[in-house]
Structure 1
Amino acid sequence: MKNVNQISIGRFHHFHLARQMEKRGLLEFIWTGYPLFKLRDEVGIPHSRIKSYPWVHSINMANKRFGLIRSKRINRKIEWLACELIDKYVASEITSSTVLIALSSMGLHAGIKTQQLGGYYICDRGSSHIRFQNELLIEEYARWGFSFEGINPQVIKKEELEYEVADKITVPSEFAKKSFMRMGVSEAKISKIIYGANFDRFFKIADPPKNCFRVFWVGELSIRKGFMYLYEAFQMLKHPRKELLVVGAVTPEIKKLLASKSTANITFLHKVANKDLALLYSTSHVFVLPSIEEGMAMVQGEALACGCPVIATTNTGSEDLFKNGVEGYIIPIRSPNSIKECLQQLVDNHLLQSQMSEAATQRVKQINGWDRYGEEFSKLIASIN
Structure 2
Amino acid sequence: MRVVISTIGRFHSLNQGRQLQARGALAALFTGYPRFKLADSGIDPALLRTWPWIQAPYMGLLRFPGFQRHLATDWSWWAQSLHDRHVAAHLPPCDAVIALSGMGLRTGRVAQARGGRHVCDRGSSHIGYQDDILREEYGRQGFVWQGIDPRVKARELAEYDSADAITVPSGFVRDSFITRGVPADKLILVPYGGDLSRFRPLGEKDRDFRILFVGQLAIRKGLSYLLQAVRRAALPGAKLVLAGLEQPETATLLARETGLPVERLGVLRGDDLVREMSRASVLVLPSVEEGLAMVMAEALACGTPVIASTNTGAADLFSDGVEGFILPIRDPDAIADRLTRLAADPGLRAQMGHAARDRIQGFGGWDRYGDRLYTALRTLTGA
Shift of 1:139: 0.2
RMSD: 1.2
- Counterpart CA distance in 2 for 1:119 and 1:105 is 19
Matching residue of 1:122: 119
What is the Cα deviation at residue 73 of structure 1?
4.3
Residue 60 of structure 1 corresponds to which residue in structure 2? 58
Q: CA offset at residue 166 of structure 1?
A: 0.5
Corresponding position of 1:255:
251
What residue in structure 1 maps to residue 16 of structure 2?
17
Matches within 5 A, 1:314-329: 314-329=310-325
- Secondary structure at the aligned position of 1:252 is classed as coil
Q: Within 1, Cα distance between the matches of 2:268 and 2:183?
A: 41
3-state SS, counterpart of residue 229 of structure 2: helix
Off by >4 Å, runs of 4+ in structure 1:
none
The residue aligned with 1:374 is 370
Letter aligned with residue 98 of structure 1: D
Selected match of 1:224 from 220, 230, 251: 220
- Structure 1 residue identity aligned to 2:59: M
Amino acid at match of 1:37: F
The structural deviation recorded for 1:68 is: 7.7
Whether contact under 8 Å (1:203, 1:278) holds in the other structure is yes
For residues 258-302 of structure 1, give each alpha carbon's deviation from its aligned partner in whole angstroms, at most 9, with x where no partner exists. Answer: 235424411001122233211111111100000000110000000
Compared CA separation, residues 255 and 53, structure 1 to 2 (3 A) = same
1:80 matched to 2:83? The reply is: no
What is the distance in 2 between the residues matched to 1:230 and 1:264?
Answer: 11
- Structure 1, residues 204-254: CA drift from partner, whole Å, max 9, x if none? 1223222x2110111110000000100011111232201011111221212
Q: Which runs of 5+ in 1 are unaligned?
A: none
Relative to structure 1, is the Cα distance of residues 47 and 289 closer, same or farther in structure 2, using a 3 angstrom cutoff? same
Structure 2 CA distance for aligned equivalents of residues 185 and 158 of structure 1: 16
Equivalent AA in structure 2 for residue 249 of structure 1: L
Asked if 1:70 is matched to 2:67, the reply is yes
**Secondary structure, in 3 states, of the residue corresponding to 1:311?**
strand
Is residue 104–residue 120 contact of structure 2 (8 Å, CA) maintained in 1?
yes
The match for 1:188 is: 185
Query: Is 1:69–1:75's contact at 8 Å kept on the other side of the alignment?
Result: no
Structure 1 contact 175–314 (Cα < 8 Å) conserved = yes
What is the CA–CA distance in structure 1 between the aligned matches of 2:84 and 2:195, rounded to whole Å? Answer: 28
TM-score, normalised to structure 1's length? 0.97
**Residue 234 (str. 1) matches residue 236 (str. 2):** no
**When the two structures are superposed, what TM-score results if normalisation uses the length of structure 2?**
0.97
Task: Quote how far apart the aligned CAs of 1:132 are.
Answer: 0.4
Q: Distance in 1 between matches of 2:124 and 2:9?
A: 15
Distance 1:257 1:69, change over 3 A: closer
